[in-house]
Amino acid sequence: METINPNWTSWILLLFILVGLWMLVRFLERSFPGFLRALPLPPSSILILRLMRRWMPLFILLILAWQFLLIAPLSNGIFLVLVILGSFQAIQSFFLGWAIRSRLVLYPDPWLRCGEISGRVDRFGLLGLEVVNPQGRHSLYYQLLSRKGYSLLPTGGEDTFLECLLEAEEKITGKDPGQTLRDLLALCPYTDWNHPPQIRTNHLAQNQFLLRVNLLTGRFEGAFQNLLSESGYRSIQPSSDEPLTDSSSTTE
């Protein structure tokens, strides 16, 4: 059987085919949102197709890069190395997006929060995603999501993040109040461990802590505050002359 030698004509033809396939998938996604979930297939098959869709850009890039390398291994290989070195940040964000996309694809209509931005995930890109909320459209790069962390929110984007300044009462100051608080959060049924609670200590008052926590639902806020109070941690107003340390302690 006669072999087909890689050449620029075949590579360009392959480029058009793969890019055309990608544009067709993107057209279907934009014109018929959720078209994969509407296919008459078992749920497990739909999940596999959705995961393959998220990895499709990687497959296309690998196929094109491999064929490009076969045309002229030495010169094209050097060129690919230079491209990889020059676009390291983009490549890193692309690969970080794998894990994030693979997780979010499990949810039909994901909502999330990253820092001060929360909303519905409207579009997945190669290097980041777009979140829509009443304030507009926001782009979040996968590097940012990986570095700062993100939390899944209930459908509708209910704001479940709570921040409060706590002071440990005398009945627990003989122990380690910070560790006691971490132990309390570890057993608390109200916290969302997709985004672990964060505790920062006041360096002028070791029995004061700034707590940032994500609750499973906003309806738990009252019960959570009561649990803190009953356990010996009362909410206080922050004082400008008692700043918190920069070092943060995150419960594991």
The per-residue pLDDT for range 42-87, each reduced to its tens digit, is 877 877 887 777 778 878 888 988 988 888 888 888 888 887 777 7
pLDDT of the residue at 101: 79
Q: Is 133 helix (H, G, I), strand (E, B) or coil?
A: strand
Q: How far is CA 35 from the centre of its chain?
A: 24
What residues does 109 pair with on adjacent strands? none
Alpha helices in the chain (DSSP H): 8-31, 43-71, 73-86, 88-104, 142-148, 170-173, 177-187, 221-230
Q: Which residue would you say has higher pLDDT here, 127 or 18?
A: 18
DSSP-derived letter for residue 219 is G
CA-closest candidate to residue 161, choices 130, 226, 117, 120: 117
pLDDT of 98 higher than 60: yes
pTM score, whole prediction: 0.46
Q: How far is CA 165 from the centre of its chain?
A: 27
Q: How far is CA 206 from the centre of its chain?
A: 33
pLDDT of 240 higher than 80: no
Rg, Å, the chain Cα set: 25
Whether the CB-CB separation of 200 and 251 falls below 8 Å is answered with no
pLDDT of the residue at 137: 87
Q: Encoding tokens for residue 126? A: 């190669």
Q: Is 111 helix (H, G, I), strand (E, B) or coil?
A: strand
Question: pLDDT averaged over the chain?
Answer: 78
Give, to the nearest 10 degrees, the angle between helix 43-71 and helix 88-104: 160
pLDDT of the residue at 252: 39
Following CA atoms 137, 138, 139, 145 in sequence, which dihedral angle do they give, to the nearest 10 degrees?
-140
Q: Encoding tokens for residue 219? A: 């309806």
What average pLDDT does range 143-148 have in this prediction?
84
